[in-house]
Chains A and B, each alone.
Chain A
Amino acid sequence: MIAYTDKVRQIARRLLEESRVEMVIGFRKGSQPMMNEPCFIRKAEDADKLVWDGNCGINLANYLTGRNEKIAVFAKGCDSRNIVTHIIENKVQRDKLVIVGVPCTGMIDKRLVASRTEGEIESVGENADKVVVKLSDGGSLEYDRREVLQGNCALCVHRNPVIYDELVADLVEEQTDVDRWADVREIEEMDTEQRRRFFEDLLAPCIRCYACRNACPLCYCPTCFVDESKPQWLGKGQDQIDIQTFHFLRAFHCAGRCTDCGACQRACPVGINMRLLTKKLEKDCFEMYRWEAGMTLDQRPALDTYKPDDPQGFIK
């Protein structure tokens, strides 16, 4: 994927030179290893700032909303699905958008690499199927790329963008033999008490920083329910029940819309895997309504519509 960088710069330069867009959103190298950051480019000559590698996990769909200019955006599979959702939900207009599709082979899990590596990491590079870690003491390590992917990427079945105006490279082969919901099933198989404890433990470290919410392209409400004050039914502090309610309802708001892009988990400073909540709803939507978010522009998310033949097994 590292090889995309040249193509990325080339496309960005061309789009700006031809004045097809006023701005390009992509990634540039971050100040720390494995922390590429979103980059907004308005001039063709700045195109060389852009990079593309396995550290571009941030969901760029999140940066498209509330803008008036015509924008080109580099979109991985998950980003593109969120862009579809944005278009459906009137967050962006299709005709103000040039989507440059980036067929993706997965993003590197920075925490995983860090935890596997002893010593201070100087930089992290890629070489074909290998992830090369250079240490500050001069040493270097190599990991098999597949072993250090983000959890969501390892299980991703929509690596290719679903909507694009042009592509950075040929489409990649989709993974077919993955078991997307093994972890959810594991929890489903627990008994009620175990599940309760599991989530208590899972969410206990939460510091209510709302990074997950802010990183999520779906969380664009002007006022989030946690900030509602009439009445203020949800406490803002560290009460465990408040924390659980927050995560539970946030997941609910993502039901039928979440693409499992992993932005929430990636953003979490304390490393909570809140995807276990959103994935359950993703799984339910798939199993009950055959619905996957952001795959088509023609249909609104599953829970936005009602059909008489919707499953209703839970109703007496």
Chain B
Amino acid sequence: MTDWEPKIVSFLCNWCSYGAADLAGVSRMEYPPNIRVVRIPCTGRMSPKFALAALREGADAVWVSG
């Protein structure tokens, strides 16, 4: 399991964190490549179902960010 890399399913608000993620790119910052972004129109769209489903499907963590 040494080369195990976690997958973190990330639900990012289109207007906030998704923008921050884009800006991080524009600013050429670096961060670990473990997140998999699902763009949602607003964190209000986030349903507990999604978090549960992501974990059920084997995601190692779920991150919701507005």
Interface residues of A (CB under 8 A from B): 225, 233, 241, 245, 248-249, 252, 315
Cβ-defined partner of A233 (8 Å) among B48, B49, B66 = B49
B53 within 8 A of A: yes
B56 within 8 A of A: yes
Contacts of B53 in A (CB 8 A): 233
Interface residues of B (CB under 8 A from A): 48-49, 52-53, 56, 66
When C-beta atoms are compared, the residue in chain A nearest to B48 turns out to be A252
Contacts of B49 in A (CB 8 A): 225, 233, 249
Contacts of B52 in A (CB 8 A): 245, 248-249
B8 to chain A, nearest CB (A): 14
The CA-CA distance from A241 to B53 in the complex, in Å, is 11
The CA-CA distance from A252 to B52 in the complex, in Å, is 12
Q: Is the interface of A mostly helix, strand, loop or mixed?
A: helix
The CA-CA distance from A245 to B53 in the complex, in Å, is 9
> How many interface contacts (CB-CB < 8 Å) are there between A and B?
13
The 13 listed contacts between A and B (C-beta, < 8 Å) are: A225-B49, A233-B49, A233-B53, A233-B56, A241-B56, A245-B52, A245-B56, A248-B52, A249-B48, A249-B49, A249-B52, A252-B48, A315-B66
B27 to chain A, nearest CB (A): 20
The CA-CA distance from A248 to B53 in the complex, in Å, is 12
A11 to chain B, nearest CB (A): 43
Contacts of A225 in B (CB 8 A): 49
The CA-CA distance from A178 to B66 in the complex, in Å, is 40
A118 to chain B, nearest CB (A): 44
When C-beta atoms are compared, the residue in chain B nearest to A316 turns out to be B65
The CA-CA distance from A233 to B54 in the complex, in Å, is 10
When C-beta atoms are compared, the residue in chain A nearest to B57 turns out to be A233
The CA-CA distance from A43 to B42 in the complex, in Å, is 54
The CA-CA distance from A124 to B66 in the complex, in Å, is 57
List the 4 closest pairs (A to B, CB-CB), nearest first: A233-B53, A252-B48, A245-B52, A241-B56
The CA-CA distance from A176 to B52 in the complex, in Å, is 38
- With A233-B49, A245-B56 known, 11 other A-B pairs at CB within 8 A are A225-B49, A233-B53, A233-B56, A241-B56, A245-B52, A248-B52, A249-B48, A249-B49, A249-B52, A252-B48, A315-B66
Contacts of B48 in A (CB 8 A): 249, 252
The CA-CA distance from A248 to B48 in the complex, in Å, is 10
The CA-CA distance from A47 to B44 in the complex, in Å, is 50
Contacts of A315 in B (CB 8 A): 66
B5 to chain A, nearest CB (A): 23
Contacts of B66 in A (CB 8 A): 315
The CA-CA distance from A249 to B52 in the complex, in Å, is 9
B16 to chain A, nearest CB (A): 12
Contacts of B56 in A (CB 8 A): 233, 241, 245
